[in-house]
Amino acid sequence: MSLLGRMFGGKKKEVGEDPQTAIQKLRETEEMLNKKSEFLEKKIGEELQTAKKHGTKNKRAALQALKRKKRYEKNLAQIDGTLSTIELQREALENASTNTEVLKAMHTASQSLKRAHQDLDVDKIADLMDDIQEQQDVANEISEAISNPVGFGADIDEDELLNELDELEQEELDRNLISLPSGVSDDVGLPSVPADSLPSGPTKAKAVEEDDDDMAELAQWAS
């Protein structure tokens, strides 16, 4: 059985596990491989230092150190490739799991919406809205009827009352204009006629005589 087969349980596990469990196993595998990769990098560094230490003094020991370093580097390259494959698989599985959850949520929402609408009928809704509008109109008519005055004066035309008031005002104005002269004569008294008779003026003959005397006096003064 291959390494990957042993890691994922072989054929017995092929029937499938839920995506979250598979993702968790992939993450655990990545963590294990990363730790092994760190260990190999450390060993490569140690073998390199060993080869440098022996150098030309002990070529056999230096060559053995370099051979081990090559094996570690090969294993490290394999692990890096495996990590890349596992990362791609995990990301694809995570995306698939996300899409699956989204589709489940959308399906659940669709079913819920269908159940919510199963008792609803477009024609019934239209009839209901018509009933609501009709009741609203009735309520408006009732409110208008309540707000209108009832009893005495409800049938009186307000425009007719205004016209009658204008006529009364015009009659009052005319009456004041007619009574104005008598009021002035009563308030401001005119001079009364004197009771005694005026003295009679001079007679015409006497006036002519006075004029002749004046002329004679004037002629005498001028000579």
Per-residue b/e over 114-126, b at no fewer than 16 CB within 10 Å?
Answer: eeeeeeeeeeeee
Tokens, residue 154:
């409800």
Other C-beta atoms lying within 10 Å of the C-beta of residue 81: 10
**What's the pLDDT score for residue 53?**
87
Q: What number is the average pLDDT over the span 56-85?
A: 92
CA proximity to 20, closest of 105, 100, 84, 107: 100
Whether the per-residue pLDDT at 3 is higher than 50: the answer is no
Decide which of 136 and 188 is more confident: 136
Say how far apart CA 177 and CA 183 lie, in whole Å: 10
**What's the pLDDT score for residue 166?**
87
**What's the pLDDT score for residue 87?**
93
Whether the per-residue pLDDT at 212 is higher than 80: the answer is no
Class of domain 20-113 (CATH, top level)? mainly alpha
User: Per mean pLDDT, which of 14-18, 130-134, 205-209 is the most reliable?
Assistant: 130-134
Decide which of 4 and 80 is more confident: 80
**What's the pLDDT score for residue 17?**
73
Q: Give residues with Cβ within 8 angstroms of 148, minimum separation 6.
A: 154
pLDDT tens digits, 126-165: 888 989 999 999 999 888 888 776 655 556 677 887 888 8
Whether the per-residue pLDDT at 198 is higher than 80: the answer is no
**What's the pLDDT score for residue 185?**
45
**What's the pLDDT score for residue 188?**
46
Answer for the pair 106, 29: CB distance below 8 angstroms, yes or no.
Answer: no
Q: What number is the average pLDDT over the span 22-27?
A: 90
Tell me the chain's radius of gyration from C-alpha atoms: 67
pLDDT tens digits, 93-127: 999 988 988 999 999 999 988 888 887 778 888 88
Whether the per-residue pLDDT at 182 is higher than 50: the answer is yes
Decide which of 209 and 189 is more confident: 209
* pTM (2 d.p.): 0.43
Distances (CA, A) of 29 to 59, 151, 197: 39, 95, 155
Domain map (residue ranges) of the chain: 20-113
Answer for the pair 27, 90: CB distance below 8 angstroms, yes or no.
Answer: yes
Distances (CA, A) of 80 to 7, 24, 31, 35, 175: 17, 19, 12, 12, 122
